[in-house]
Amino acid sequence: MNRKVMITCALTGAGDTVGRSEHVPVTPEQIAESGIAAARAGATIIHIHVRDPQTGVGSRDVALYREVVERVRASDVDVIINTTAGMGGDLVLDPHDPTTFLEGTDLVSGVDRLPHVEELLPDICTLDCGSLNFGEGSLVYVSTPDMLREGAKKIQELGVRCEMEIFDTGHLWFAKTLVEEGLIDAPAMYQLCMGIPYGAPAN
């Protein structure tokens, strides 16, 4: 029996995808156009990150999110808008002096990762359900239980559907805890983000 499938298109991601391909959209106009094209090609959901148009580096700038979302909403496509709320968790440590934070650190509270969500009220936003060593080097993604509870409560208050991002097995444990505590409505929405070093492997 065939099952109905919903396709999500992640338009840029958070990492250095720009350095890997010249085809990754960078400006708000490019990101919006990619989302519109994905919807026309059959995507049900578009997952939106934004980038500094000058550098291509991931950004939390509300104005950039606003332009992308407004362009998509003004288009003729019917697509579910899913914005990231994971930016603001990057902690880059000096391996020889871990009390020193290095360039690339962008660390704010769980609630302070949500101003674009509060303004734009997308259909869905993400909640990265735990901390992890992110790739090689000295980058730690920070998402503590207290941060997550505060973020989940705010997302619920805004009436935005929460997609809980699961990078490792313990993240699923905590995501289920958020549901049990009534901070996320059931039935919950989970995204299994496998194969990203160094969370759970894809196999």
pLDDT, tens digit (0-9, with 9 covering 90-100), for 85-121: 999 999 999 999 999 999 999 999 999 999 999 999 9
Rounded to a whole number of angstroms, the CA Rg of the chain reads: 17
Question: Is 20 buried (19+), middle (13-18) or exposed (0-12) by CB count in 10 A?
Answer: exposed
**What percentage of the chain exceeds 90 in pLDDT?**
93
Report the number of distinct structural domains present in the chain.
1
Residue 66: give its domain's CATH number. 3.20.20.70
Q: Mean pLDDT in the chain?
A: 97
* CB distance 47 to 85 below 8 Å: no
Give a yes or no: residue 2 inside a domain: no
Q: Check residue 135 and give its pLDDT.
A: 92
pTM: 0.95
Domain that holds residue 62: 8-86+110-131+144-192
